Amino acid sequence: MAAIIWIGSAIVSLRLVGFPSGVEFDRTQPLTLITSMGQTLTAKDISSEISQDTPTPANVAEYDIKSVLPQLQAEIPLHLTLPMVTGSPIELQIPSTAIQEWQKISAR
């Protein structure tokens, strides 16, 4: 699974890419972010906005995290729950160093 932070004029997004034919994101559900302190946040799926001309592949999901980033404490790790079309959600642990980098990039 790869993650990319993208900064546009109105959004800061987290793009997640899984192996083709191995991952199919459920884009009808938001991304759930849970801090190690138990705070739960969600980010809206914006995958349909990636490209207006071609459909987004099933193994790619993009979430608007602009409103979530200021609510995160950079020194507290994060747990992401990625909704899947079939099977259990994928769980990812995000270290505090990654959150610090995301916040630094979004502040530019």
Res. 77: pLDDT tops 70: yes
Phi, psi of 99 (to 5 degrees): -65, -40
Identify the residue whose tokens are 């900064």.
Answer: 7
pLDDT in the model for residue 6: 61
Tokens found for residue 53? 């001309």
Of the pLDDT bands very low, low, confident and very high (cuts 50, 70, 90), residue 34 is very high
Mean pLDDT of the chain: 87
pLDDT tens sequence across 58-72: 999 999 998 899 999
* Host H or E run for residue 93: strand 90-94
User: Which residue, 45, 103, 25, 26, is CA-closest to 71?
Assistant: 103
pLDDT tens sequence across 79-101: 999 999 998 999 999 999 999 98
User: Which residue, 79, 83, 33, is CA-closest to 61?
Assistant: 83
Res. 47: pLDDT tops 80: yes
Of the pLDDT bands very low, low, confident and very high (cuts 50, 70, 90), residue 9 is low
What are the structural domains, with CATH classification, of the chain? 2-106 (2.60.40)
